[in-house]
Amino acid sequence: MIRKPQQGNNAGITGTEIKEDDWKKLRFGVEDIIGVNAASQRKLLKQTYEMSDSCLRTNYYGIKHLTEALIPILEQSNSARIVNVSSSFGKLKFFPNEKTKKMLGDVDGLTEEKVEELVEEFLEDFKNDLLETKRWPTLFSAYTVSKAAQNAYTRILAKKYPKIAINAVCPGFYLLGL
């Protein structure tokens, strides 16, 4: 396996398992992730609720809890910075549900509570096998949701703490040999 739930990449835990030969078959365009090719791509991946939960606990909640712990220290600095490592998978174009896309894209209306509700709703829908019905991303679904939630949280923090430079970056894909 090339991707185990405990392994990560440059931006976190993917929440999937895939055989190395199948990894080479994957394509990452919009049509491959949410469009006409998504169903055949999903067959190559193994995603479980436990993997999804682990992915969100690491990629979203882990960053959130660490940041909350460090903010009081960072506020004492004259040049504090937070740089969250995100992913292109966190882009809203990978969300087929327009309501979710609108909520995550509403910078002025975003709140931590809304992001938390979204993450919990996703996990509940995953557990109940409702990802397609509720129009969640279905390829690397937990990873996509975790990175979109992380991006939303980064925006919330940037507004909440204007004296701290807070950004998210998407460095691109590469294998880490972990």
Query: Is there a domain that residue 174 lies in?
Result: no
Instruction: Judge whether 2 lies within some domain.
Output: no
Q: What is residue 59's three-state secondary structure? A: helix
Does 138 fall in a domain? yes
- Looking at the domain assignment, is residue 66 inside a domain? yes
Exposure string of 45-69, with b = 16+ CB inside 10 Å and e = fewer, is: bbbeeebbbbbbebbbbebbeebee
- Taking 70 as the threshold, does the pLDDT of residue 152 lie above it? yes
Residue range 3-17: average pLDDT? 47
Q: Which residue in 61, 143, 161, 174 is the catalytic one?
A: 143
Active site residue 143: yes
The domain tally of the chain equals 1
Q: What is the value of pTM for the model shown?
A: 0.77
127, part of any domain: yes
In a domain, 149, yes or no: yes
pLDDT at 37 over 80: no
Q: In the predicted model, is pLDDT for residue 172 greater than 70?
A: yes
Domain assignment present for residue 137? The answer is: yes
Q: Given pLDDT bands bounded at 50, 70 and 90, which one contains residue 11?
A: very low
Domain enclosing residue 37, as ranges: 8-169
* pLDDT tens per residue, range 62-104: 999 999 999 999 999 999 999 999 998 899 998 999 999 999 9
CATH number where 128 lies: 3.40.50.720
Rounded Cα gap, residues 88 and 165, in angstroms: 21
In a domain, 3, yes or no: no
User: What is the 8-class DSSP label of residue 62?
Assistant: I
**pLDDT at residue 19, rounded to an integer:** 52
User: Tokens for 143?
Assistant: 């990873």
